[in-house]
């Protein structure tokens, strides 16, 4: 690829990114905000980190396809799956409360951003990833399927139908490399960073949460 031939490309407008950046600008903690909302907004903010560290001008036109709200929805759905799996193994007593809270937070945010109810799609994505876990699927296969969904979503306006393990959608070598590299970076850095933050939240904030709030 000749980088000199790459056009600047417009960054896709993202309501979620604007929301997350405004949240981060306030210091990640607005006084009076319920703690579970704070951790939910933190999750959305870290979701928007997908591909943000990739500043290689050679991939600018490719990157611009994946910075909008629909690709971020798919990244958030995957993040929720990883949170659910982690809670299942480490904090099962808090799993239902936190997963439901994150689910509602993601659903509400992306319904506003995309203008459609995403709850059924979000639920189906989590169920599909979870089915793969029960089959002994490794992380590489999770990311392969997520990459396929991103490819299908790059020009869509609403969440796409996707059959996990179905026919493979092909892309160019450069785009395939970009997707695989950025998903691996997200899985290797952003996911564990957020899980560390969530663990601190569970250990320090949830013990002070009332029984009523935990229902």
Q: Please report whether residue 3 resides in a domain.
A: no
Of all residues in the chain, the percent with pLDDT exceeding 90 is 48
Task: Determine the straight-line distance between the first and last CA of the chain, rounded to whole angstroms.
Answer: 54
Task: Tell me the residue range of the domain where 204 lies.
Answer: 13-208
Q: Please report whether residue 213 resides in a domain.
A: no
Q: Please report whether residue 191 resides in a domain.
A: yes
| Total number of domains constituting the chain | 1
Q: Please report whether residue 5 resides in a domain.
A: no
Q: How far is CA 30 from CA 36, 67, 151, 193, in A?
A: 12, 26, 36, 21
Q: Please report whether residue 41 resides in a domain.
A: yes
The pair phi, psi for residue 189, each rounded to 5°, is: -120, -55
Q: What is the residue-wise DSSP string for 85-111?
A: HHHHHH-HHHHHHHHHHHHHHHHHHHH
Q: Please report whether residue 96 resides in a domain.
A: yes
Residue 55's contacts (CB-CB under 8 Å, 6 or more residues apart) are none
The answer to whether 43 and 83 have CB atoms below 8 angstroms apart is yes
Q: Please report whether residue 48 resides in a domain.
A: yes
Query: What burial letters (b/e) apply to 165-184, b meaning 16+ CB within 10 Å?
Result: eeeeeebeeebeebbeebbe
Place of tokens 């203008």: 115
pTM to 2 decimals? Answer: 0.85
Rg (CA), the chain: 17
List, for residues 26-53, the tens digit of each pLDDT value: 555 555 677 888 888 889 888 888 877 6
Q: How many helices (H) and strands (E) does the chain have?
A: 9, 0
| Residue 138 DSSP symbol | -
List, for residues 95-145, the tens digit of each pLDDT value: 999 999 999 999 999 999 999 999 999 999 999 999 999 999 889 999 999
Q: Please report whether residue 19 resides in a domain.
A: yes
Tell me how far the alpha carbon of residue 79 is from its chain's centroid.
4
- Mean per-residue pLDDT, 168-182: 84
The answer to whether 111 and 133 have CB atoms below 8 angstroms apart is no
């Amino acid at each position: 690829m000749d980088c000199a031939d790459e056009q600047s490309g417009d960054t896709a407008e993202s309501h979620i990114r604007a929301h997350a950046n405004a949240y981060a600008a306030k210091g990640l903690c607005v006084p009076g905000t319920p703690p579970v909302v704070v951790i939910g907004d933190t999750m959305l903010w870290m979701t928007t980190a997908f591909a943000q560290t990739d500043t290689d001008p050679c991939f600018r036109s490719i990157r611009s396809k994946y910075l909008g709200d629909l690709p971020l929805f798919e990244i958030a759905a995957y993040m929720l799956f990883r949170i659910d799996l982690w809670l299942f193994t480490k904090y099962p007593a808090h799993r239902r409360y936190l997963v439901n809270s994150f689910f509602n937070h993601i659903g509400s945010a992306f319904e506003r951003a995309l203008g459609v109810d995403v709850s059924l799609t979000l639920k189906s994505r989590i169920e599909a990833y979870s089915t793969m876990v029960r089959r002994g699927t490794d992380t590489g296969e999770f990311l392969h399927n997520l990459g396929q969904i991103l490819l299908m979503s790059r020009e869509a306006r609403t969440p796409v139908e996707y059959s996990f393990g179905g026919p493979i959608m092909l892309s160019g070598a450069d785009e395939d490399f970009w997707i695989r590299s950025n998903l691996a970076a997200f899985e290797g850095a952003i996911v564990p960073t957020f899980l560390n933050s969530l663990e601190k939240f569970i250990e320090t904030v949830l013990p002070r949460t009332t029984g009523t709030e935990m229902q």
